[in-house]
Structure 1
Amino acid sequence: MLPVAVIVSLLPAVPATAQAHAGATYYVDSRSGDDAAAGTSASTAWKSLDQAISDLKPGDTVSVRRGSGFTGPVTLTSSGTKAQPITITTHGSGAKPKISGSGDDCVVVKGDHWRISGLWASACRWAGFRLDGDDNELIGVQADKNIAGAFVTPSGARNTIRDSVFTDNNRMSVNDEGGDNDSGAFGVLLNGDDNVVTRNTITGSFAKSKDYGTDGAAVEIFGGDRNRVTHNTSRNNETFTELGAKKGKTATGNVFAFNVVTSSRKRGSFLITRGPRHIVGPVKGTVAVHNSVYLPARDTVGWSCHDGCAPSILKLRNNVIVVGGETGFEDGKGADEGGSVYKGRRTRFKLGPKSVMADPKFTSRTDLRPGAGSPALGRGIVLPPSWYGGKAFAKDMKGKALTGSPDAGAYQR
């Protein structure tokens, strides 16, 4: 047997291109940077983002000084890997670095495995953040004054949008007379599959519409499958979620869990979905579980499953829904519903197992935790983690695990 040292010496050398890239950090400062500088420290920062993002490798980081401002688009074409994503972060103090400009979408992610945090996209052509690639993350970003705060295109899959703020994305893309086709004012729009939207705050997603009076949604899904929308806070949006797909396409198996939805607007709804008779139906396999909803105005709807509703279209479990209008609507064979508490002026669906019409005794109009003696306590039906989109999401709005007989709504005792 050859000695170990000899064996090692006989092994082929690993090419430099196959070795792991250690990762470099580049700095950008739009106010005092210089594109002729080294760009490798905060004191030698570059001025433009384009210089920093032109040739990034897996494991590289771009750090942008807070208070900086840029005109989009910022187009990210490189790709990281699962083990070594490419990172955009911030340094310094002050407002988030702002990207704006009506000529194009502001931040366009064409590559895969990006981890983007701390940026602000405002008043862009269409989307603040557009995700064309796969396995990207938006973390702690901000978007306002766009048609869509964040937009995952049909090619985008397995992206995560979390811990971010989407405020007043209140512009329409289509707004014309007739045709039942107005569209816009999205906090988040999902056209792709297997994405996660979690722990975001989404407010003010509504705009005037010639077809509908007003329109908009906190999270809209059109043609996307198996997306998980969990633990978000929604305030003063037209609709929390609306689902549809082009004929021949799908929007199947989307999950909405542990979201808290409130509004002081005169109009609003929690969830709108469609059966096969609708122009953008059928939308199959939608699950809404452990959501808490308070929409006190008269022109409000808890959930609507229309134009051929069926258990294969919509399943609801363990929700608490209080509206000033209609708690829920179903036609056809109806939705699969149970374990929930409802209060409203009118109900047009059949209550399922353990569901009741009663006052859930919310702590306040904005704090939707159930108070003492609430019928939501212990009301829920025990469910496997698949109902929530997986074991990682089987916790309440505050991170408390579900044990024993669960409470209905987004909060557990």
Structure 2
Amino acid sequence: MRLLSVVVATSFLPALPSPAMAAGAASSATAGTTYYVDSRAGDDSADGTSAAKPWKTLDRVNDADLKPGDAVSVKRGSSFRGELKLSASGTAARPIVVQPYGTGPLARITGECVVVNGNHWRVSGLRATGCRWAGFEIGGDHNELSGVEADKNIAGVWVTPSGSSNTIKDSTFRRNNRMSVNDEGGDNDSGAFGVLLNGDDNVVTGNTITGSYARSADYGTDGAAVEIFNGDRNRVTHNRAHDNETFTELGAEKGKTATGNLFAFNVVTSGRKRGSFLITRGPGHIVGPVKGTVAVHNSVYLPARDTIGWSCHDGCSPGILKLRNNVIVVGGEAGWEDGRGADEAGGVYQGRKATFKLGPRSVMADPRFVSRTDLRLRPGSPAIGRALRLGPQWFGGADLAKDIAGKPLPDAPDAGAYQH
């Protein structure tokens, strides 16, 4: 197994906002001042407080003395090179809003891209592409990204060690396929992250994450839809991931932890020649132990031979990994454990081999997915009614205790991300 590199750099299941939600955001913003930015028709000598007299560059936004309740409206179709630096702070009752206006594609930012060091921001309607490192860098607390896009970066979103209690939802992260370290030897290549979490208590939900995959001198290929390093109690739920190298890989440098991270109701598919769902480590690994990881009600289909469902190695134990009610089909190894093994139950597995002990109500069988890309269950599936009934704490709270389509769990739930 590859070594998860230490990343060092400077610096709840809702749908996309409905018109009513957007109006609510706008009304809260009108309690302050709304500033407009248009890279095509703007003028930095204008006051920027109307769509008729917008600013032209991000520099005017960066220099503005933004207050709680203010808003920045960015014209769709705009294109900027540089940095959007969001350093002011709103409040829980009066966040500062970044939002789109007009028609056309999302405003495009390249260069240093979007850096959120303040607290209580609500950022939507931006695309960060080809950025120096991360499309969106979040170092503050209680911020929300919603309806954004990031592509062609080392990380689509990077939540830094100081970033906590942030929400990344209903967004698209595709082809974040660059490496920050990619040299021979050292077991230290790093990059191709859809979302990289170095902070604590963040929520990643309702996103589409594809193409987190890059060539690596050390590993051949590498990348992850959601990578967690030194981050605790993050909740990764209800995401759709396709053609990533790994869905999630976890680690912590010595003296730090990556404890209590949750993965629930995610759908993971891939047509690549290699891949995995979840990689975690015990105390014998240089970036272990990773304690208290929970994976529950995920559906996985990775048909290539060089694939693995989950791996818990270098001293696996129930305190390292708990799995409940997952449906995992791979062309390679369905799961792998050593030591005392993971705490597993209620799952359906299919693969060429499996190096773990099946837990209560788990079975090796074809789950009868609808298709390679549609992981709903067909009639007669052994996953129907197989799952253990679990309390809301297993899902990160009652608001998240729904399948990926938003259906509540019945008294006799199905294994996997879908309830039939």
Query: What interval of TM-score do these two structures reach, taking the shorter chain for normalisation?
Result: over 0.9
CA contact (8 A) 1:21 1:58 kept: no
Corresponding position of 2:169 = 162
Alignment partner of 1:90 is 2:90: no
Name 1:49's counterpart in structure 2: 58
Tell me which of 389, 400, 407 is aligned to 1:393.
400
1:58–1:79: 8 Å Cα contact kept in structure 2? yes
Q: Say if 1:194 and 1:228, in contact at 8 Å, map to a contact too.
A: yes
The answer as to 2:42 corresponding to 1:33 is yes
Alignment of 1:337-352 (within 5 A): 337-352=344-359
Provide the residue aligned with 1:199 in structure 2: 206
- 1:266-324 Cα offsets, whole Å, 9 max, x none, are 00000000000001000000000000000000000000000000000000000000000
The one-letter amino acid paired with 1:35 is: D
Match of 1:262 in 2: 269
* Contact 1:243–1:283, Cα closer than 8 Å, also in 2: yes
Structure 2 alignment gaps of length 5 or more:
1-28
Give the CA deviation at 1:25. 0.8
- Residue in 2 that maps onto 1:294: 301
Cα-to-partner distance string for 1:105-154 (whole Å, 9 max, x where unaligned): x1000100000001000011110000000000000000001000000000
* Residue number in structure 2 paired with 1:145: 152
Pick one of 54, 71, 82 that aligns with 1:72.
82
SS at match of 1:51: helix
1:289, 1:306 → 2: CA distance? 19
Aligned-partner Cα distance in 1 for 2:248–2:395: 16
Q: How does 1:268-307 map to 2 (within 5 A)?
A: 268-307=275-314
CA deviation profile, 1:318-358 (whole Å, cap 9, x unmatched): 00000000000000000000000000000000000000000
**Number of residue pairs the alignment of both structures matches:** 391
In the alignment, is the contact (CA less than 8 A) between 1:186 and 1:216 conserved in 2? yes
Gaps of 5+ in 1: 1-19
In structure 2, distance between residues paired with 1:326 and 1:118: 40
Alpha-carbon distance between aligned partners in 1 of 2:303 and 2:105, rounded to the nearest angstrom: 35
Partner Cα separation in structure 2 for residue 175 and residue 355 of structure 1: 40
Partner letter of residue 30 of structure 1?
S
Partner of residue 316 from structure 1, selected from 318, 323, 332: 323
- In 2, Cα distance between equivalents of 1:389 and 1:212: 33
Give the distance between the partners of 1:39 and 1:150, measured in 2 at CA: 29
Match of residue 181 from structure 1: 188
Q: Is the 8 A contact 1:97 1:119 kept in 2?
A: yes
Deviation at 1:22, TM superposition (A): 2.4
User: Aligned partners of 2:185 and 2:47: how far apart in 1?
Assistant: 57
- Asked if the contact 2:299–2:416 (Cα under 8 Å) also holds between the matched residues in 1, the reply is yes
Aligned to 2:12: none
Q: Which amino acid aligns with 2:257?
A: T
Give how far 1:184 is off.
0.6
Is the 8 Å Cα contact of residues 61 and 84 (structure 2) preserved in structure 1? no
Whether the aligned pair in 2 keeps the contact of 1:21 and 1:57 (CA below 8 Å) is no
Identify which of structures 1 and 2 has the higher relative contact order when contacts are C-alpha pairs closer than 8 Å and 6+ apart. Answer: 2
Could you say what secondary structure the match of 2:52 adopts? helix
Partners of 1:79 and 1:401 in 2: CA distance: 36
Q: Assess if the C-alpha contact under 8 Å between 2:205 and 2:238 holds in 1.
A: yes
State the alpha-carbon separation in 1 of the partners of residues 216 and 195 from structure 2: 18
Q: TM-score with structure 2 length normalisation?
A: 0.92
Deviation at 1:403, TM superposition (A): 1.7
Identical amino acids, percent of aligned pairs: 73
Aligned counterparts of 1:323 and 1:72: Cα–Cα separation in 2:
42
Given that 1:27 and 1:52 are in contact with CA atoms closer than 8 Å, whether structure 2 keeps it comes out as: no
Partners in 1 of 2:153 and 2:61 — Cα distance?
25
1:250 aligns with 2:260: no
Q: For residue 94 of structure 1, what is the amino acid of its counterpart?
A: G
Match of 1:52, SS state, is helix
Q: CA deviation at 1:58?
A: 0.2
Q: Tell me which of 23, 29, 32 is aligned to 2:32.
A: 23
Quick one: distance in 2 between partners of 1:237 and 1:39?
41
Q: In structure 1, the residue corresponding to 2:61 is in which secondary structure? A: helix
- Name which of structure 1's ranges 119-128 and 70-79 shifts more when overlaid on structure 2: 70-79
SS at match of 2:130: strand
Contact 1:157 1:193 (C-alpha < 8 Å) held by counterparts: yes
1:211 offset after TM fit, Å?
A: 1.1
Partner deviation per Cα, 1:23-51 (whole Å, 9 max, x = no partner): 11111101001112231211111111221
**Contact 1:111-1:133 at 8 Å conserved across structures:** yes
The one of 381, 389, 393 equivalent to 2:388 is 381
1:117 corresponds to which of 117, 121, 124? 124
Looking at structure 2, the residues matched to 120 and 336 of structure 1 have their Cα atoms a distance apart, in angstroms, of: 40
TM superposition shift of 1:21:
9.2
Distance 2:396 2:198 in 1: 18
Q: Quick check: 1:216 aligned with 2:226?
A: no
SS at match of 2:137: strand
> How does the TM-score come out when normalised to structure 1?
0.94
For 1:317 and 1:143, the matched residues in 2 are separated by 32
Query: Is residue 58–residue 82 contact of structure 2 (8 Å, CA) maintained in 1?
Result: no
